[in-house]
Structure 1
Amino acid sequence: MQLPRVKIQFLNGQLGTVGESPDGLMALICGASAVAGKLELNTVYRVTSPDDLTALGVTETNNATLYKQVKEFYDEAESGTKLILYPVSANMKVTELCDYTKTSEGFARDLITRQNGALRGIGVAGLNAGSTAASANGLDPDVFTALPKAQQLAEWATSELYAPLFFVLEGRNYDASKELKDLTEEKYNRVCVVIGDTVKDSKGACMGTLLGRIASIPVQRNIGRVKDGSLFPLEMYVGAKKIEESGNTISAIFENGYIVPRKHVGRSGYYFADAPMACDPTDDYAYMPSRRVIDKAYRISYDTMLEELLDELELNEDGTLQHAVVKSWQQTLENAINRQMTAGGELSATDGEGCKCHIDARQDVVSTSKIVVTLKVRPHGYSRYIDVNLGFLVTTV
């Protein structure tokens, strides 16, 4: 016998693809050094501006990586935006940090548990700092071994805590002379990897800039949207070269499924090329906006259906749900999604409706005590490829 519960499963293959908002609450797990009497490792800190680092005793001198990432987060996001900091030993490997079986302080699972389901995404930077080697696949081997661990941990948070989230990993020790591992052949749709930084020859990546952009936009918004304007940094690099000098390299990085900055001809500043997750592009959740949209719908669905758990249900003589009950449940769930998502432009809508709920009235509830609910939300499309056919308008005689 199982505990009464609400269970939500993600549908896949549906797309046919060949102010302070809790939706943007990000955490930064970063390699750091303790500051006596102020900053302790393996401890959760909530900051809302770079000034909060002063109270923690964090400076560019004693914690260069942590200082840089937080400053760049607030260069991108407005002061007042909440960021959860979790400083850990810089010598820890990302693979170990994300290990689902590690439950003690200093590991990602501990942070997730402490935040009681509030986190929407976790960025990891400045770890395995003692390693300077890149594998034959172009990055620190620790990045690739951490991918399945981070995916498993994110799935655990989803199924056990009803708190779906995603991980952003730092593409550490990037080596442009080696061919990158192709992440489009993987299956980690809750993990992405960013390459490129705001300093030359960096061993890390622009995690603060990326998390700041995510935290400042709605769930359906692409981090590379041109209308939102360029990123804050005045200079960005991939390895030793500026982004504008690395056209072919940027294309190769992106085609292999990584998040990377780019330039647009005719526009000043830098933009993220797109927001791929480390998985097959035909996966319904292959891009961060889809991941964030479906995760928000998940949270709303769980909260709405939890209210119905163990409630009395009016049944027909054959043990199936009465029509009025079916319609009531469908309307309740659709209203919740439309009120909290469609009305804010987070779903594509027709007459204010951006989702559809279906409950098969023929289910034998009296025998199974189980009700299967199918909810589908309508995502936005994204203009990734625009072709303009240009020619002369001429009338010939």
Structure 2
Amino acid sequence: MGLPKVLFNIAKDGMNRTGNNIQKVTGLIITGSGVASKVELGKSYQVFSLNEAVALGISEAENAFAYKHIKAFYDQAPTGTPLWVMLVSDATTMTAMLDKDGAFAPTLIADAKGAIRVLGVVKKATGSETIAAGLDTDVQTAVVKAQAIAEHFEKKYMPFRVVVSGNSWNGKVADLTNFSENELNKVACFIGNDDKEKEASVGLFLGKMSSIPVQRKIHRVKDGSVLPLVAYFTDGTTIDSKADQWDALDDKGYIFFRTFVGRSGYYFSGDNTLTKPTDDFKSLSSGLVMDKALLLAYGALVEELSDEVLLSEEGSIHPAIIKSWQTKLENTLQSEMVSKGELSAVNINIDPEQKVLQTGKVVVGLKLLPVGYADFIEVNIGFTTKKEEN
């Protein structure tokens, strides 16, 4: 036994830490070229800086298009931010990139082990695109594929949202598909850039998304502008030249750049998804909040799978079981989301009268109270003859 002594057995779980580390990791599938002994087409790579991308062969000299987007990403996100990248040939469409049965997006998502929360796709325009509904026809089919692949992976507990480059806009707002009549609530279409080219600045978009918490809107004015001097649409015209049509573009569900009177620089117009205004997931931020909550709830409950559920003498679920599950879920969501301002509150309900013996199933009711947003501020202003108390 040795000499008498005082022993300390130090507990490791008294602070109720959840062990969850759900980051808003982004992925990018983009046109590029393979480089001997370096980057290969169709292969997944994770980088943490522009220098790492350059070392792979995604340099200004060897892969100028992809380099431009990754540089823009790290202009917004700090070095050390993870980015999953896959280069594909210039013949690969965005529709093919997003095919859930294809070899591109499914491979990137799988290689990232489901960590990607926002996936961006952009194909370098060739100048010979066929235009339909105001954009490259590839865009019209890509957004449908994007919704399908996002729904597919959500069922595997790998939820993510997709940003599709709105390539080669013809400049006519009337021609554009009114996506507010669709139900593609996991997909956004971006039609803005900083270089007058035919593709959207998807790298910049992803960089901004990576640098803000899940509940934050990408167009939050307090965060400051994302471009200092000039911004364009993918038809090559300046953002300012179509200022009278911004509302119409927003109403149709597109994301672009905009300005504010009295403030310098350009901001994102919104975080619309391609769905109806009544959809709970009309914004990317709402979807990302739900995705994080889903993963946290899954992590808290998966340990209970196939475990014994004690019943009371009346055959209902024992109160101790209900309390245990509710506490576990509430502690997880409170510490990982509510305390961080990503949710306002959570409510968990488990009906004790469920027939667990007969069904082998326990239904958990989980209600999330999101944060609100001051998207519209109305001020009643006028003169008065005297100062009045509020």
**Shared fold, TM over 0.5:** yes
Q: 1:118 matched to which residue of 2? A: 115
Q: CA–CA distance in 2 between the matches of 1:78 and 1:72?
A: 11
Cα pair distance change 1:114/1:128, threshold 3 Å: farther
Q: 2:365 matched to which residue of 1? A: 374
Give 1:30 deviation, angstroms.
0.5
Q: CA–CA distance in 2 between the matches of 1:297 and 1:128?
A: 37
Partners of 1:230 and 1:270 within 8 A in 2: yes
Partners of 2:181 and 2:276 within 8 A in 1: yes
Task: Give the alignment partner of residue 142 of structure 1, picking from 134, 138, 145.
Answer: 138
Q: CA–CA distance in 2 between the matches of 1:283 and 1:134?
A: 29
Letter in 2 for 1:294: M
1:273 equivalent in alignment to 2:269: yes
Letter in 1 for 2:23: D
TM-score, length-scaled by structure 1: 0.88
Partners of 1:94 and 1:127 within 8 A in 2: no
| Aligned pairs (5 A) from 1:275-294 | 275-294=271-290
| Aligned pairs (5 A) from 1:244-263 | 244-263=240-259
Q: 1:390 matched to which residue of 2? A: 381
Q: 2:11 matched to which residue of 1? A: none
Letter in 2 for 1:99: D
Cα pair distance change 1:129/1:299, threshold 3 Å: farther
Letter in 1 for 2:281: Y
Q: 1:96 matched to which residue of 2? A: 96
| Aligned pairs (5 A) from 1:222-241 | 222-238=217-233, 239-241=235-237
Give 1:80 deviation, angstroms.
1.6
4+ residue stretches of structure 1 with deviation over 4 A? 127-131
Give 1:72 deviation, angstroms.
0.6
Give 1:128 deviation, angstroms.
6.3
DSSP 3-state at the match of 2:218: coil
Q: CA–CA distance in 2 between the matches of 1:131 and 1:261?
A: 26
Q: CA–CA distance in 1 between the matches of 2:112 and 2:191?
A: 28
DSSP 3-state at the match of 2:226: coil
Q: 1:48 matched to which residue of 2? A: 48
DSSP 3-state at the match of 1:74: helix
Cα pair distance change 1:364/1:129, threshold 3 Å: farther
DSSP 3-state at the match of 2:335: helix
Partners of 2:343 and 2:368 within 8 A in 1: yes
Give 1:131 deviation, angstroms.
4.2
Q: 1:13 matched to which residue of 2? A: none
Give 1:288 deviation, angstroms.
0.9
DSSP 3-state at the match of 1:314: coil
Letter in 1 for 2:257: P
Partners of 2:227 and 2:267 within 8 A in 1: no
Cα pair distance change 1:211/1:226, threshold 3 Å: same
Q: 1:171 matched to which residue of 2? A: 166
DSSP 3-state at the match of 1:241: coil
What's the CA shift string for 1:219-256, capped at 9, x where partnerless? 00000000011104532111232222320233322121
Letter in 2 for 1:155: E
Task: Give the alignment partner of residue 152 of structure 1, picking from 148, 151, 168.
Answer: 148
Letter in 1 for 2:283: Y
Give 1:156 deviation, angstroms.
1.1
Partners of 2:198 and 2:236 within 8 A in 1: no
Letter in 2 for 1:229: G
Q: 1:312 matched to which residue of 2? A: 308
Give 1:49 deviation, angstroms.
1.6
Q: CA–CA distance in 2 between the matches of 1:317 and 1:140?
A: 65
Partners of 1:65 and 1:126 within 8 A in 2: no
Q: CA–CA distance in 2 between the matches of 1:225 and 1:244?
A: 19
Give 1:196 deviation, angstroms.
1.1
Q: CA–CA distance in 2 between the matches of 1:206 and 1:335?
A: 39
**Bigger mean CA deviation after superposition, 334-343 or 88-97:** 88-97
Partners of 1:91 and 1:130 within 8 A in 2: no
Q: CA–CA distance in 2 between the matches of 1:58 and 1:125?
A: 15
Q: CA–CA distance in 2 between the matches of 1:127 and 1:25?
A: 23
Q: Which has the larger radius of gyration?
A: 2
Q: CA–CA distance in 2 between the matches of 1:99 and 1:131?
A: 23
Q: Which runs of 5+ in 1 are unaligned?
A: 1-20, 349-353
Letter in 2 for 1:51: N
DSSP 3-state at the match of 1:120: strand
Cα pair distance change 1:268/1:132, threshold 3 Å: same
Give 1:129 deviation, angstroms.
4.3
Q: CA–CA distance in 1 between the matches of 2:35 and 2:83?
A: 20
Letter in 2 for 1:64: A
Q: 1:76 matched to which residue of 2? A: 76
TM-score, length-scaled by structure 2: 0.90
Q: CA–CA distance in 1 between the matches of 2:178 and 2:144?
A: 15
Partners of 2:94 and 2:123 within 8 A in 1: no
Partners of 2:97 and 2:121 within 8 A in 1: no
Letter in 2 for 1:323: P
Q: CA–CA distance in 2 between the matches of 1:58 and 1:40?
A: 10
Q: CA–CA distance in 2 between the matches of 1:392 and 1:130?
A: 57
Q: CA–CA distance in 1 between the matches of 2:371 and 2:41?
A: 41
Q: CA–CA distance in 2 between the matches of 1:82 and 1:244?
A: 34
1:59 equivalent in alignment to 2:59: yes
Cα pair distance change 1:234/1:208, threshold 3 Å: farther
